[in-house]
Amino acid sequence: HLRENYSSLKRHVPLPECVRDILEECVLPYAQRDMSHAVRQMLEADPGVRKAFEVYGEALYLLHAHLARQRRSVDANERPTISMEQYLELLQSRGIIGDVSVRQLSEVRVPKHTLKTYRAVLTVAKAKRSFVESQRVDEAQMGSLTGFELATELDYEEFLECIGRCGLLKYEL
């Protein structure tokens, strides 16, 4: 189909312009966008998420600190971090990773087929993606960290964001 149209073109586009045209017309409109900033803004603006982090913030901080101490001794100059393995173990031990179906109940007798079933799913792959997307790395850190470290550590702020992302994915809010 493309070859048929090739001979019917009225103009020939030189190489630099044709590459730009292909990028602008064919590649970039369909490219996957990095939505990290939009997700962060949504999590920060959501009153339910803010309230949950206010209520459970101290417990989450202590949990993160405990996991960071288990991982390695933390120097005063070093930021405490947790590994992806620890995070996945935490989610699995709490029953967060997996598939849950909940059927709506009614006090009034109604046919069962009219009751909704809600399904919440969080896979290991989605949890890993949330872990990686929660990391905030600026250019100054890029030079000092290896690619392996970038993909395997979360500090406390990133940990909170990762929890929020997993909630969004699991419950599709």
Mean pLDDT of 96-103: 84
Q: At what angle do helices 156-171 and 124-133 cross, to 10 degrees?
A: 140
Instruction: Tell me the C-alpha distance between 81 and 85, whole Å.
Output: 12
Beta carbons within 8 Å of 77's beta carbon, 6+ residues apart: none
Per-residue pLDDT, 147: 52
Confirm whether pTM is higher than 0.85: no
Per-residue pLDDT, 105: 75
Per-residue pLDDT, 33: 65
Token pair listed for 152: 């395997």
* Cα–Cα separations (whole angstroms), residue 161 to 19, 37, 109, 153, 169: 38, 11, 42, 13, 12
CA-closest candidate to residue 81, choices 138, 126, 36, 134 = 134
Alpha-carbon torsion angle 69, 72, 73, 79, nearest 10: -80
Instruction: Tell me the pLDDT tens digit for each residue of 52-76.
Output: 999 999 999 999 999 998 876 555 5
Instruction: Tell me the pLDDT tens digit for each residue of 133-166.
Output: 898 865 445 555 555 455 578 999 999 999 999 9
Confidence of residue 111 (pLDDT cuts 50, 70, 90): confident
Token pair listed for 75: 């120097």
Token pair listed for 168: 């969004």
Q: What is the CA radius of gyration of the chain?
A: 23
Check: CB of residue 82 under 8 Å from CB of residue 71: yes
Q: Count of CB atoms within 10 A of residue 142's CB?
A: 10
CA-closest candidate to residue 94, choices 56, 132, 129 = 56
